[in-house]
Structures are given as C-alpha cells and as structure tokens.
Amino acid sequence: MSDTLNTASLTDEDRVVVTVTALAVLGLVILYGGVGAGSTSSVSVTETANLAIGIVAFAPATMAAYYAVTALTWYATGPALTPGGGMKKLGAAA
Amino acid sequence: MLSSLYRPRQFFAERARVSLGEATGIVLLAGLAQTFYLLFLLPELLPRFSSAKTLYVSAGLLIGAGGQILTTGFYWFFYSGLFHSISLIFGGEGRFRRTVIYTGYGFGPLFLAGILNGFLSLLASRAVDPPSEIEAVDPYLTDVFAQDVFVWSKVVVLLVFLWQTWIWVGAMKHARTLSLKHATLTVCVPVGARIVWFVYRSNLL
C-alpha cells in the first residue's frame, strides 16, 4: 500500500469531506486564536457560548467558501477538474 | 457497547455492524456530562437573586450548557472529517458515514471526565463566595474554574485524550480498513496536535 495520496481515486464525497474539514481547521484556528487570547482556563461558559455562536455563524461561511473554491476551480481549469459532476460531463462528451 | 472503552480493537473486530444510534447516544451523553457541573453550581447561585434575575441567570447558563453540547457534536464531525481525510493518504476505504459512526464510540471517556469535572466544581465552589449581581456571575465562574483543584481536571483531560486515541486507533483500523500502523498515524497526528495545544493553553508545563 502506497503512502501517497492518489487523487484520481477520490470520490466526490471524499473531496467534499477534505475541503470542508480543511476549512473547519482554518476556522477553528482563527476562532480559538481570537476567543482564547489571554485565557488560561480550560472551561468557561462564555467562551463556550462564543464558540457555539461562532460555529453557527461559521457553518454557512464554510459552505459559501466551499462553493467559492469550486467556482474558482471551474473558472481556472474548466469543468473536468471541479468536484461534482465535471468528470461525468467530460465522459458524456467523449 | 461498554467493551469499546476497554477492549476497543476486539470490540470493533467482533462487531460487524456498529450503529449510528449507539454512536449518537454516546456523543449526546458525553455532551450532557460536560454540563454536569451546573447541577452543583446552580443551587449555589440562584438563591442569591430575585426571581426575575434568576430567570436571566438560568437562561444564560443553560445557553452556555447548550453550547457545550453543540460543541461536543461539532467535534464528533470535526474528528471524523480529520480521520477520514488523513486516512485517504494511507488508502483508507469506506463511506464517510461509517467513519462518523466509528468515531462516535471514542467519545465515551468524555462522559467520565464530565462527571468528575462536576464533582470538582462542587469542591471548588466552596472556596469562592457566590455573587449577588448578574455582572459578577462570569467572574465567579472564572474564579471557580481557576481553583487549584482543577489542576486534576486538566490531568484527567490529558488522560481522556490518550484513552480516546486508543479507542479511535481501533475504530479507524476497522472503519477505514487500515493497518494498525496507519490507523495509529491517522489518529495520532490530529489528537497529538490537540494535546500540544491543550498543554500550551493550560500552562501545565
């Protein structure tokens, strides 16, 4: 088994999971960096409430960012490389 | 189901079908346990306020508690996403739904940590005078959780991280059809980063 990621074997579901997870990691780093600045307590109600609000606000932002990345990828490379139905369109054309 | 806590690899090897219902139940219980401390702190706080203020303080604390339950749910999907993504490097196979279900079983130890945290908050609250003004509730909670006794809570959280790692390695081995080495790498990279971040923020060193 090779330890190298073969992107051609990824399913659409895999691509969505990877993209959304990467954006979530980025969001958490920003969120924790801001909310937790200067705090040394591991448990705080206000911090948790802020985090919950951030997550609720972050979910639509995540989806918007995902579609923005998809649209930019389509614009830059054409439909063949976009996540989703691009490969099917190419196959249908062939 | 309990054997997933102390014999995870055998549990996931023997259980051909784990269930989403069981995994959801475990995560929900773990989330609820994170709010267990309110059972001890509310009786300390509420008698100090008039009825109108009691409603306000209760609502604020319950919203915070709801946030903690939501946060536990968020981390369920967050870790699932990380494990699913990293395991792709090692040729992991299977749907994301399967990864989500197996990851849910790793939240069992959080339940015990939440219960322990609740009892520690009871001990800590005795060392801090309860406030009589709404504005002082948040500093009060900060003071309670800053008591020396909560050093034990941080130690327990670290042990829970290690316990979760052990369960998740067994879970990912079977959920994503990985070797033990690849399952260990899949789990240890993100959880290790979380542990380093936790130690850094907790001033444990």
Q: pTM of this prediction? A: 0.73
Residues whose CB falls within 8 Å of the CB of residue A64, separated by 6 or more in sequence, listed in order: none
Among chain B residues, CA nearest to A44: B142
| Residue type (1 letter), B105 | Y
Hey, is the C-beta of A35 within 8 angstroms of any chain B C-beta? no
Tell the burial category of B127 from Cβ atoms under 10 Å away from its Cβ (0-12, 13-18, 19+): exposed
* φ, ψ at B62 (rounded to 5°): -70, -35
Residue ranges of chain B whose CB lies within 8 Å of a chain A CB: 37, 60-61, 63-68, 70-71, 74, 78, 81-82, 84-85, 88-91, 95-96, 117, 138, 141-142, 145-146, 150, 153-154, 157, 179, 182, 197-198, 201-203
**DSSP code of residue B127:** T
* φ, ψ at A10 (rounded to 5°): -75, 140
User: Is A42–B138 a contact, with Cβ atoms under 8 angstroms apart?
Assistant: no
- Averaged pLDDT for residues B178-185: 92
Chain-centroid distance, C-alpha B151: 17
From CA B177, how far away is CA B117, in angstroms rounded? 36
Both tokens of B116, joined, read 């322990």
Angle value at C-alpha B52, between B51 and B57, nearest 5 degrees: 95
Amino acid B77: pLDDT: 92
Least confident range of A44-48, B79-83, B85-89, B107-111 = A44-48
ipTM of the complex: 0.78
Amino acid B139: pLDDT: 78
Coil vs helix vs strand at B74? helix
Hey, is the C-beta of A76 within 8 angstroms of any chain B C-beta? no
Q: Give the tens place of pLDDT for each residue, B11-40.
A: 888 876 788 899 999 999 999 998 888 877
Among chain B residues, CA nearest to A56: B70
Least confident range of B52-61, B104-113, B115-124 = B52-61
Is a pLDDT exceeding 70 seen at residue B147?
yes
For residues A71 and A7, the answer to whether their CB atoms sit within 8 Å is no
User: Is A45–B64 a contact, with Cβ atoms under 8 angstroms apart?
Assistant: yes
**DSSP code of residue A1:** -
Task: Indicate the pLDDT class of residue A86, thresholds 50, 70 and 90.
Answer: very low
CB atoms within 10 A of CB B50: 9
